[in-house]
Chain A
Amino acid sequence: MIKRNLNYLKEKYDFDDSDLKIIFERIKELNKSIKKVQSIEVEESLEKNNPFKHLNE
Chain B
Amino acid sequence: MSDLFLLSVNELSENISSRKISPVDLYDTFTQRIEKFNSKLNCFIEVFDDWKTKAKISEKEIFDGNIRGPLHGIPIAIKDLIDIKGKITTAGSKILINNLVNESAAIISALEAAGAIIIGKTSLVEFALGPHGINSSLPQTKNPWDLTRIPGGSSSGSACAVASSLCPIAVGSDTGGSIRMPASFCGVTGFKPSFNKLNISGVFPVSWSLDTIGPIAKTAKDCSIFVEEICKHQIANKNKDPFNGFTTPMIDNFDNLLSPSLKIGVPSEDFFSAVEEEVIKKFYNSIDLMKSMGAEIIEVDLSWLLMARPVNVVITLAEAFSIHKNWLKSDSKNYTFEVISRLVLGENISLNDYLSSMRVMGYIQKRIGEVFEKFDVLACPTIPELPSLISDYSKENLLKSKNIVGGKIPLFTSLFNVTRQPSISTTAGFSSKGLPIGVMFTGKFNEDYKVLQVGNWFEKITNIQINKIPNI
Contact = CB atoms under 8 A, between A and B. Distances in A.
Interface stretch (B72-80, B198-206, B254-262, B398-406): B398-406
Contact of A42 (B310, B328, B363, B395): B363
Q: SS class of chain A's interface: helix, strand, loop or mixed?
A: helix
A25 interface: yes
Nearest to A25: B404
A31 interface: yes
Interface stretch (B13-21, B222-230, B345-353, B382-390): B345-353
Contacts of A22: 341, 395, 398-399, 404
Interface residues of B, number: 31
B95 interface: no
B344 A40 contact: no
Nearest to A20: B341
B395 A13 contact: no
B342 interface: yes
A19 B356 CA distance: 30
Nearest to A28: B405
Given A13-B340, A25-B404, A34 B353 contact: yes
B307 interface: yes
B409 interface: no
Contact of B399 (A14, A18, A37): A18
A26 B342 contact: yes
Contacts of B359: 42
Interface stretch (B27-35, B44-52, B239-247, B311-319): B311-319
A44 B314 CA distance: 21
A23 B317 CA distance: 14
B353 A38 contact: yes
Contact of B313 (A33, A40, A44): A33
A4 to B, nearest CB: 11
A6 to B, nearest CB: 10
Contacts of B332: 13-14
Contact of A37 (B341, B345, B356): B356
A27 B307 CA distance: 18
B310 A26 contact: no
A52 to B, nearest CB: 18
Contacts of A14: 332
Given A19-B341, A22-B399, A30-B348, A36 B404 contact: no
Contact of B348 (A18, A25, A27, A43): A27
Given A13-B332, A18-B399, A22-B341, A30 B317 contact: yes
A49 B404 CA distance: 40
A33 B310 contact: yes
Given A37-B356, A37-B357, A9 B344 contact: yes
Contacts of B311: 37
B360 interface: yes
Contacts of B307: 36-37, 40
Q: How large is the interface on A (under 10, 10 to 19, 20 to 34, 35 or more residues)?
A: 20 to 34
Nearest to B342: A26
Contacts of B363: 40, 42-44
B314 A26 contact: no
Nearest to A44: B363
Nearest to A21: B399
A5 B405 contact: no
B337 interface: yes
B287 to A, nearest CB: 29
B369 to A, nearest CB: 15
A23 B353 contact: no
Contacts of A34: 310, 314, 349, 353
Contacts of A40: 307, 360, 363
Contact of B310 (A9, A19, A27, A32): A32
20 contacts: A5-B348, A13-B340, A13-B344, A18-B395, A18-B399, A19-B337, A22-B398, A27-B345, A29-B405, A30-B317, A30-B345, A31-B348, A32-B310, A33-B314, A36-B310, A37-B314, A37-B357, A38-B356, A40-B307, A43-B363
Interface of B: 307, 309-311, 313-314, 317, 328, 332, 337, 340-342, 344-345, 347-349, 353, 356-357, 359-360, 362-363, 395, 398-399, 404-406
Interface of A: 5, 8-9, 13-14, 18-19, 21-23, 25-34, 36-38, 40, 42-44
Given A5-B348, A13-B344, 19 more contacts: A9-B347, A14-B332, A19-B341, A22-B341, A23-B344, A23-B345, A26-B341, A28-B405, A30-B313, A30-B317, A30-B348, A33-B314, A34-B310, A37-B311, A37-B314, A40-B360, A42-B359, A42-B360, A42-B363
